[in-house]
């Protein structure tokens, strides 16, 4: 991957104008499409397969009068008066009549209707007008809503002085999310951090520009997608928040690596390519983890949540693509202007020279001062180790003090961190989930005012009535049956009133409106729904009625239950994915386990803080929390998914540097320090930016987004600074060398994910080694072991382009192993190898695309060879020559090879051939040249010539064939 990204980065640098034009074109097309096709977002929540949704779908057909969206209009008479007084009642009656005439209003029920009870408060001061629409919330048009609001306004004007009225209810309970100036604070903080990190306004502006471009494209695509189905109004805000955060951070990683490389003297183009290859690999890994976790939201099997996760995943994917293409292009535009100024570099060099002059060198080569030996970081050490290049010149004593402080007594650090985060997580035990209602809206909002007035005069339950429905087609006395059912339900605990119990016009379906005594999001209401459903069999046996509970409140309860039940399987998927991915990256057993446990601590702590604020009211007023209580149902699952990706992001950038240094030095504790110093600065900057962006959505954020934003802000802070930068170094210090242990069988089983670009570094190091278009195969010190011993060792060869390599050996398995290695199908244990100018095993995929491997003992040999040659390979590897059955077949194979070789030469792409056999004599009949390069795996000095000479008959056959080919 790193090699491919290296090529991509170099191309984007050179084709920067084209890349920029393409991204601007994408934005223009997406934006234009959004303007043309946008259908608007909605706040409707549905959950197929639940009792409440099935009952509501049934009511759409059998009792449409009560299945659509609803609203409430409350009237409160002046102090000392009642709603029965002449002027107030007249105004209410007029409003009911006007509402009934509005399109899409199924009915407006007067509080004075004789069939309705409970619509007038006990003190006669308040009355409720119930408005029922003939469609779902998504179907109600803006003109209908405007007409209803107009009637409500006219009612307010017609009421006597001192009276109060307010419009609210289900249709008006959810406000559309909107951006405020406060959210820009996060962008300003991000800009400040970027300026401090890069020391350049030009470099600092790049991540912001690219992140905003990615957000604009993803938002436009979301609005285009509204053509294909409803999308929650929370979806664009979540995509905006995530896209902005990850877009800035991913660009930060690449530009930071680029600037470090410029400081070391690299050319801007080469530095851009390497930064894209190394930091870009980590960006892909981090982006994939976020994307997979977001797509994993589909585990809950809730359509709106699946859509939300998919939309956010698209935003993250766009951020990754922009980081890998547009950032290199912008680095190309910047050129030398991003290189640190010479005077800064000179000061660093002077500081190093001063330190070197103050120290002397011991006879062993150790650095010393008057007091004794010094290590390469200026500290006393008995066994100094070389410091990697990425640490030299940083002089960051703060981070050095940090890492040494947390690793001095690692067990104490571990206990302290676990204790603090464990205590912070305790409030999460009381975290309750529910869908937001009007009570969660800010004070002053019309729907919130209605909610508060209804709660004050009627009780909180009137804000979330339940509908109990069932088929009564078998009843001979539907009115009597409904009366009996009403009496039964009125006697249940938690029921405040049953204002309505009636059959439909065809007397086949009945509904019972139940007013709970608790608020819609209270535990009491949830218990009441569970109790009614628990009596299902009783009602079926006693009244032969299959009752179901539905309504907006019941749907919210079902969604919360479904999401709560999905947390465990989703968590197992995330944790399992974490273990697998990190094992692939770090080639370790303990590091993934430590990283996963740290992630769980971060998640638990963020849940605890959210519960403290939204459930217990700690700092609720300062954060402008409208009302404490349950948080939105999908907060935990989204928080787990997003935080997983971000946590793995920090883990990779921090620990991969430690692993890189450990591989080179084999000094575990030293690698912790040098790796920490090499990555702590960029991880700190990234975490501060993430925290600022998420935190900015808390004070004035949307009701649905606010708890998610707070949880993410806390989670990022805890995970980056407490878990990754404190707990992780302590755990690694405690484990020592064991931290990097991995069983060999598992190492062979798992694919390698080269995040830090080790393969690229190997490829770059061999760029000049036996380079040139005239060399097709180059090997030095090549060796491979097998289960029964060494297969081959110390293989040395160089094959010119268009040449032929003959591999012979008495053991066919050894020959096959070497041929598979040359074809990019098998990875050697030791040595250097280039095939078609590509370094193996780094570019094994590219080599496999250019090199064909043919087993002549598998199938019909001539047909197999012909099929492989039809693919026009650059290198042809032929195995099993000694298995050819007869002279005629050998001659045909020879003819095919000669024809292919000459055709390739005429086409300007010479064909290089490698042939292997366990019988040297068998090669003489099929070699398309008389002077091949020979590797004798049995010889002590590989490279000897063939000992067998062609027989007279064979020579004649060869000459005849060549004549025919020439003809």
What are residue 936's phi and psi, to 5 degrees?
-100, 105
Q: How confident is the model at residue 933 (pLDDT cuts 50, 70, 90)?
A: confident
Identify the sign of the CA torsion 198, 203, 205, 209: negative
Half-sphere exposure of 40 (CA within 13 A, CB side): 10
> What is the predicted pLDDT for the residue at 943?
43
392 has a pLDDT exceeding 70? no
> What is the predicted pLDDT for the residue at 361?
40
Rounded CA gap, 680 and 893, in Å?
A: 61
714 has a pLDDT exceeding 90? yes
> What is the predicted pLDDT for the residue at 611?
92
> What is the predicted pLDDT for the residue at 380?
38
CA-based nearest residue to 169, from 464, 377, 568: 464
Q: Between residues 893 and 948, which one has the greater pLDDT?
A: 893
The percent of residues in the chain predicted with pLDDT above 70, rounded, is 87
For 383-397, what is the mean pLDDT?
47
> What is the predicted pLDDT for the residue at 281?
82
In this structure, of 363-377, 749-763, 775-789, 833-847, the range with the lowest mean pLDDT score is 363-377
Rounded CA gap, 576 and 573, in Å?
A: 5
448 has a pLDDT exceeding 50? yes
Q: How confident is the model at residue 264 (pLDDT cuts 50, 70, 90)?
A: confident
- Nearest-5° Cα angle at 597, 591 to 599: 100
For 159-184, what is the mean pLDDT?
75
> What is the predicted pLDDT for the residue at 702?
65
862 has a pLDDT exceeding 50? yes
> What is the predicted pLDDT for the residue at 181?
59
Q: Between residues 766 and 866, which one has the greater pLDDT?
A: 866
> What is the predicted pLDDT for the residue at 772?
66
12 has a pLDDT exceeding 50? yes
Which among 197-206, 346-355, 363-372, 397-406 has the top mean pLDDT? 397-406
Average pLDDT, the chain: 81
Rounded CA gap, 677 and 395, in Å?
A: 9
Tokens read off for 307? 């859509």
- Contact 321/265 with Cβ under 8 angstroms? no
For 428-456, what is the mean pLDDT?
82
**Helix ranges, 723-833 (H):** 728-735, 744-749, 758-765, 812-822
> What is the predicted pLDDT for the residue at 321?
94
Q: How confident is the model at residue 948 (pLDDT cuts 50, 70, 90)?
A: very low
Rounded CA gap, 543 and 512, in Å?
A: 15
Rounded CA gap, 323 and 915, in Å?
A: 45
For 810-825, what is the mean pLDDT?
88
For 46-53, what is the mean pLDDT?
74
What are residue 224's phi and psi, to 5 degrees?
-65, -40
193 has a pLDDT exceeding 90? no
> What is the predicted pLDDT for the residue at 372?
39
Strands (E), 572-724: 631-632
Q: How confident is the model at residue 27 (pLDDT cuts 50, 70, 90)?
A: very high
CA-based nearest residue to 798, from 897, 613, 935: 935
Which among 351-360, 419-428, 634-643 has the top mean pLDDT? 419-428
Rounded CA gap, 133 and 71, in Å?
A: 8
Tokens read off for 348? 């660093």
Q: How confident is the model at residue 944 (pLDDT cuts 50, 70, 90)?
A: very low
| 3-state secondary structure string across 220-258 | HHHHHHCCCCCCECHHHHHHHHHHHHHHHHHHHHHHHHH
In this structure, of 119-133, 379-393, 398-412, the range with the lowest mean pLDDT score is 379-393
298 has a pLDDT exceeding 90? no
Q: What is the pLDDT of residues 584-629, one digit of tens each?
A: 877 788 888 888 889 899 999 999 999 999 888 888 888 877 778 7
- Contact 548/55 with Cβ under 8 angstroms? yes
Q: How confident is the model at residue 709 (pLDDT cuts 50, 70, 90)?
A: confident
Q: Which residues, other chains included, contact 236 with Cβ-Cβ below 8 Å and sequence gap of 6+? A: 41, 177, 219, 222, 223, 311
> What is the predicted pLDDT for the residue at 360?
41
For 90-109, what is the mean pLDDT?
89
For 899-904, what is the mean pLDDT?
89
355 has a pLDDT exceeding 50? no
- Contact 581/289 with Cβ under 8 angstroms? yes
| 3-state secondary structure string across 538-571 | HHHHHHCCCCEEECHHHHHHHHHHHHHHHHHHHH
- Contact 482/490 with Cβ under 8 angstroms? no
Rounded CA gap, 613 and 710, in Å?
A: 9
> What is the predicted pLDDT for the residue at 288?
83
> What is the predicted pLDDT for the residue at 696?
84
Quick one: how many helices (H) and strands (E) in the chain?
Answer: 31, 22
**Helix ranges, 823-860 (H):** 844-850
95 has a pLDDT exceeding 50? yes
- Contact 4/12 with Cβ under 8 angstroms? no
50 has a pLDDT exceeding 80? no
Q: How confident is the model at residue 176 (pLDDT cuts 50, 70, 90)?
A: low
Which among 645-649, 676-680, 696-700 has the top mean pLDDT? 676-680
């Amino acid at each position: 991957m790193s090699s491919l990204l290296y090529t991509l980065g170099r191309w984007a640098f050179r084709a920067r104008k084209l890349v920029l034009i393409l991204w601007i074109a994408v934005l223009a097309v997406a934006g234009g499409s959004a303007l043309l096709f946008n259908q608007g977002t909605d706040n409707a929540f549905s959950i197929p397969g639940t009792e409440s949704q099935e009952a509501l779908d049934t009511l759409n057909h059998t009792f449409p009068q009560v299945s659509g969206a609803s609203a409430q209009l409350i009237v409160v008479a002046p102090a000392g008066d009642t709603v029965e007084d002449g002027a107030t009642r007249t105004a209410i009656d007029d409003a009911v009549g006007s509402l009934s005439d509005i399109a899409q209003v199924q009915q407006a029920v007067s509080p004075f209707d004789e069939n309705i009870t409970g619509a007038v408060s006990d003190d006669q001061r308040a009355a409720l007008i119930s408005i029922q629409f003939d469609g779902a919330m998504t179907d109600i048009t803006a003109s209908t809503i405007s007409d209803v609001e107009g009637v409500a306004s006219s009612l307010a004007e017609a009421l006597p002085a001192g009276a109060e009225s307010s419009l609210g209810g289900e249709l008006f309970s959810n406000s559309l999310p909107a951006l405020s100036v406060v959210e820009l604070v996060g962008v300003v903080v991000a800009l400040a951090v970027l300026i401090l990190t890069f020391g350049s306004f030009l470099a600092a502006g790049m991540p912001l520009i690219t992140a905003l471009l990615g957000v604009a494209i993803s938002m436009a695509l979301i609005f285009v997608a509204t053509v294909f189905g409803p999308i929650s109004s929370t979806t664009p805000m979540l995509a905006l928040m995530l896209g902005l955060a990850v877009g800035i951070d991913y660009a930060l990683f690449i530009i930071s690596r680029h600037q470090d490389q410029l400081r070391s003297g690299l050319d801007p183009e080469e530095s851009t390519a390497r930064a894209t290859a190394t930091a870009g690999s980590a960006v892909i890994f981090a982006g994939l983890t976020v994307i997979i976790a977001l797509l994993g939201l589909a585990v809950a099997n809730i359509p709106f949540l699946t859509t939300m996760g998919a939309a956010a995943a698209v935003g993250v994917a766009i951020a990754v693509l922009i980081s890998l293409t547009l950032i290199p292009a912008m680095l190309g535009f910047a050129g030398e202007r991003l290189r640190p100024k010479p005077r800064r570099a000179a000061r660093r060099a002077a500081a190093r020279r001063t330190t070197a002059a103050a120290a002397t060198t011991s006879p062993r080569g150790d650095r010393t001062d008057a007091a004794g030996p010094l290590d390469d970081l200026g500290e006393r050490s008995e066994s100094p180790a070389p410091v990697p290049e990425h640490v030299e010149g940083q002089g960051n004593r703060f981070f050095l003090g940090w890492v040494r402080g947390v690793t001095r007594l690692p067990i104490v650090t571990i206990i302290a961190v676990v204790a603090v985060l464990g205590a912070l997580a305790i409030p999460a035990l009381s975290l309750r989930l529910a869908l937001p209602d009007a009570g969660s809206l800010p004070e002053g909002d019309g729907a919130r005012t209605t909610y508060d007035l209804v709660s004050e005069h009627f009780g909180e339950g009137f804000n979330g009535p339940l509908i109990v429905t069932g088929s009564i087609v078998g009843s001979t006395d539907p009115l009597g049956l409904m009366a009996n059912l009403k009496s039964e339900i009125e006697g249940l605990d938690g029921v405040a009133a049953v204002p309505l119990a009636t059959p439909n016009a065809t007397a086949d379906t009945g509904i019972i409106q139940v007013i709970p005594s608790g608020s819609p999001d209270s535990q009491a209401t949830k218990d009441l729904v569970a109790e009614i459903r628990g009596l299902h069999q009783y009602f079926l046996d006693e009244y032969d009625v299959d009752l179901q509970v539905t309504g907006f409140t019941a749907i919210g309860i079902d969604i919360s239950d479904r999401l709560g039940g999905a947390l465990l399987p989703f968590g197992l998927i995330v944790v399992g994915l974490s273990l697998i991915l990190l094992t692939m990256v770090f080639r370790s057993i303990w590091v993934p386990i430590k990283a996963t446990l740290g992630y769980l601590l971060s998640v638990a702590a963020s849940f605890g803080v959210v519960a403290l604020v939204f459930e217990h009211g700690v700092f609720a007023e300062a954060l402008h929390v409208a009302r404490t209580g349950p948080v939105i149902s999908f907060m935990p699952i989204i928080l787990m998914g997003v935080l997983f990706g971000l946590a793995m992001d920090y883990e990779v950038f921090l620990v991969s540097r430690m692993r890189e240094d450990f591989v080179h030095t084999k000094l575990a504790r030293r690698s912790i320090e040098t790796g920490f110093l090499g990555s702590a600065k960029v991880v700190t900057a990234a975490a501060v930016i993430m925290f600022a962006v998420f935190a900015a959505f808390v004070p004035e954020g949307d009701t649905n987004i606010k708890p998610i934003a707070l949880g993410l802000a806390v989670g990022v802070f805890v995970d980056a600074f407490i878990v990754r930068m404190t707990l992780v170094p302590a755990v690694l210090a405690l484990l020592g060398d064991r931290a990097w242990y991995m069983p060999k069988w598992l190492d062979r089983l798992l694919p390698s994910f080269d995040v830090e670009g080790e393969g690229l570094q190997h490829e770059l190091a061999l760029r000049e080694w036996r380079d040139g278009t005239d060399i097709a195969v180059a090997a030095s010190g090549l060796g491979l072991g097998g289960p029964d011993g060494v297969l081959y060792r110390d293989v040395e060869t160089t094959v010119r382009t268009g040449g032929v390599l003959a591999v012979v050996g008495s053991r066919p398995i050894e020959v096959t192993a070497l041929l598979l290695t040359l074809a990019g199908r098998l990875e050697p244990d030791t040595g250097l190898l280039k095939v078609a100018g590509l370094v193996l095993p780094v570019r094994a995929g590219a080599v496999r695309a250019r090199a064909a491997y043919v087993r002549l003992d598998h199938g019909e040999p001539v047909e197999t060879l012909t099929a492989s040659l039809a693919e026009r390979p650059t290198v042809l590897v032929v195995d099993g020559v000694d298995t050819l059955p007869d002279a005629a077949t050998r001659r045909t194979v020879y003819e095919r090879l000669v024809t292919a070789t000459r055709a390739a030469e005429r086409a300007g792409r010479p064909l290089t051939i490698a042939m292997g056999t366990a019988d040297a004599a068998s090669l003489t009949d099929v070699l398309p040249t008389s002077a091949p390069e020979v590797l004798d795996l049995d010889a002590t000095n590989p490279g000897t010539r063939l000992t067998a000479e062609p027989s007279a008959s064979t020579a004649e056959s060869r000459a005849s064939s060549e004549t025919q080919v020439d003809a």
